Amino acid sequence: MSKEKIKLNISGMTCVNCSNGIERVVGKMKGLESAKVSFASNEGEFFIDSEVLPKEKLIQKIEQLGYGVEEDLKALEQSKQKAYNELARVFFLSACIAAIMFVLMFFPLQNIQANHYLMFGLATVVQFYAGGRFYTFAYKALKNRNYDMNVLVALGTSAAYFYSVFVVFFPSIFPENLRFLYFDGAVVIITFILLGRLLEERSKAKATDFLKKLMDLAPLNATLLCEDGSLKTVLASSLKIGDKVLIKTGEKISTDAVITKGSADIDTSMITGESMPVYKTMGDEVIAGTLNTTGVIEVEVLKESKDTTLSKIVALLSTAQSKKLPISRYADKVANIFVPAVILISVLTFFVWFVILGDTLSAILASISVLIISCPCALGLATPIAIVSSVGKGAREGILIKNPEILELIKDIKYAVFDKTGTLTTGIISVKNALYEEEHLDMLASLETQSEHPISKAVVNFAKDKNMPCNKLFDEIKIIAGQGIVAPYENKKVCIGSLGFLQNNDVKIEEKYMNFYTQALSEGSGVILASYDNQCVGVFALEDTIKEGAIELIQNLKAKNITPILLTGDNQTTANSVAKKLHIEKVFAQVLPDEKYKVIIELQKEAKVMFVGDGVNDSPSIKQADIGITLNSGSDITKDAGDIILINNELNAVLKSINLSIESMKIIKQNLFWAFIYNAAGIPLAAGVFFPLFGVMLSPMYAGIAMSFSSVTVVLNSLRLKFKRI
């Protein structure tokens, strides 16, 4: 036995039933160990015995089912984009024709026969061109023994369309009072179902964009240090373990490596979430994709490009993307029972009227009436119209819902996991409090204006808030990466930086400053000290400010029995300090992206998880979580990975998202309830069950009216979302 794992990119899937159908059919093939097909990512993972089942035979079987198998991700993306563009074009055509038919219905041509022919022509285009996909998908579904919405749409619209065709071309076979047209009904059904499909496909059309952008974070080229001391520009992907690479100021780290010469401040926020650059020197490891903000360093490659931390993030994202969402597709589930039942009732109706009662015309009309009244307009509109209303309501509240399917999940979350930097905090360093000699503050801030470091900017802003001009001039300024800044002023030395930096410059530090320094550290603050003429003249405690609305959000989540969790790459002391202010009891600190990802997976074993973040380092967790929410201020990669984007960056929109989900699901369930109530009441009438007792029988005309009324009810009910307060 020769076991082999095969991954295939599968195009042409339109719903979860497609992926289920592929799994079921290929699962019967001899030599297949297991099959897992994801509708969300268009990927299939198969374990086969290649001696019994060649890869080519597996691909051939999938293609026979009507799906495409693409060679690579690029081909799959092109196929998906082409399908999306085609769907958009077909919907636009169908919508335009629907509008024209409404005009013809209310303002018909003087020549009624010409009006009928024109409506027939327009409806035919929609039925077999725009709606042709439903016939194709219905055939696939029936072939795989699925009775989904496609079958229902094809069946119902065909009944309305062909009844109308016979009325137009063979009117004599119908009594005059039964010569009604239902072309407009068939066209509207197809148009709105296409709208629902378009909304669904929009979130999938660019599903892998974030992976491409993430891979672009790693620099394409690297400066290789040759053995003879010369420099050579090479592809970063060609670097081998042990190669020496030069990283200049402003350049990204080529691959995971260790510093062998020099030191620098490294911006690691995209990987670890640290709000401040981290000082790295000889012997310290650096990660691919992080940014060298100061200094020049030489590094020795520890990992090839395919094994770096950044590559692991890409792999985690790909895995998270391919997971199946536990979405309950109410209409499709019910349709599996409803469709066969409608067909059976229609056949039985015809049999009773034709064979038992001997009334051929009533047999035809009654069986057609059953199909028309069960036409899935309301059923098909129940979910997409509610989703349209939800997405629109969310947009007005600053909530961009990229993946409407998560509306079903948000209401069920148990854990709300938050990144710290940039999400619950502003990500902007500020001076929390300070102990200093006021006469020296302007001088110290003036020196800090010569540096672009976030800490320097915090001190400058602090001084400006104290109305300091910060315009004193300095010469011979020396910035030492990871330590501080030093320069002479009026023949006296000025130093600003870490405790070790000042001690190395023989600065005397009074007890009051040391006590302040120790206290600030214990509270989780960053601290810098400043001196003039070898005497400490100031200590500044630094913090990442809590965002407005963060405390209220945590309180409201707790009120809904949702447990808030802080998950950050920042150090434990700082994380605990922020968590204490926000009243968050559960904290995971000093975690890398792959560790964040694992935490999410562990939490998902217990309940539904929502993750809110804004950095590249959060993207795997955002994608893995049941609901991923990102801020509009976050990176493009993170926004692509998220299900929801908070356009106005307001944290209270997280709570609004939950409330919107609850209201949306109420509306959808109400819509489905009313859609089936109409069918439950109308089908017996259409079949003539009450005719022997009351002489009442629902004609195709009234069946059409009932069908339309149910649709209007569903639409109006969905529009209530616009006026809901969330």
Is residue 700 within 8 A of residue 365, CB to CB? The reply is yes
The pLDDT of 628-634, averaged and rounded, is: 80
The pLDDT of 263-281, averaged and rounded, is: 72
Q: Is 495 left (phi over 0), alpha (psi -120 to 50) or beta?
A: beta
Closest CA to 91 of 1, 183, 197, 227: 197
Quick: pLDDT tens for 248-260: 888 888 888 899 9
Q: 235-257: buried (b, 16+ CB within 10 Å) or exposed (e) per residue?
A: ebeebeeebbbbbeeebbbbbbb
177 has a pLDDT exceeding 70: no
Place of tokens 């109706």: 349
Q: Return the pLDDT at 326.
A: 38
Q: Is residue 206 very low, low, confident or very high in pLDDT (cuts 50, 70, 90)? A: very low
Angstrom distance (rounded) from CA 691 to CA 695: 4
549 has a pLDDT exceeding 50: yes
Grouping H, G, I as helix, E, B as strand and the rest as coil, residue 563 is strand
Quick: pLDDT tens for 486-507: 999 988 999 999 888 999 999 9
Quick: pLDDT tens for 111-146: 888 999 999 999 999 999 998 888 887 887 777 676
Question: Which domains, ranges and CATH numbers included, belong to the chain?
Answer: 3-71 (3.30.70.100), 219-307 (2.70.150.10), 325-398+659-726 (no CATH), 403-419+548-658 (3.40.50.1000), 426-545 (3.40.1110.10)
Q: What percent of the chain has pLDDT over 90?
A: 18
Of 5-9, 35-39, 54-58, 433-437, least confident by mean pLDDT is 35-39
What is the model's pTM? 0.56
Of 57-61, 316-320, 347-351, 643-647, least confident by mean pLDDT is 316-320
Of 89-98, 309-318, 363-372, 509-518, least confident by mean pLDDT is 309-318
Q: Return the pLDDT at 199.
A: 64
430 has a pLDDT exceeding 80: yes
158 has a pLDDT exceeding 80: yes
Q: Return the pLDDT at 323.
A: 43
Tokens representing 639 are 């926004």
Q: Return the pLDDT at 328.
A: 40
Q: Is residue 320 very low, low, confident or very high in pLDDT (cuts 50, 70, 90)? A: very low
Q: Is residue 207 very low, low, confident or very high in pLDDT (cuts 50, 70, 90)? A: very low
Angstrom distance (rounded) from CA 159 to CA 653: 45
Tokens representing 569 are 């790459």
Q: Return the pLDDT at 148.
A: 63
590 has a pLDDT exceeding 50: yes
Residues tagged active-site? 419
Q: Of 342-351, 433-442, 682-691, which has the strongest mean pLDDT? A: 433-442
Average pLDDT, the chain: 80
Tokens representing 154 are 């094809």
Q: Return the pLDDT at 196.
A: 64
Is residue 226 within 8 A of residue 233, CB to CB? The reply is no
Quick: pLDDT tens for 72-83: 666 776 777 788
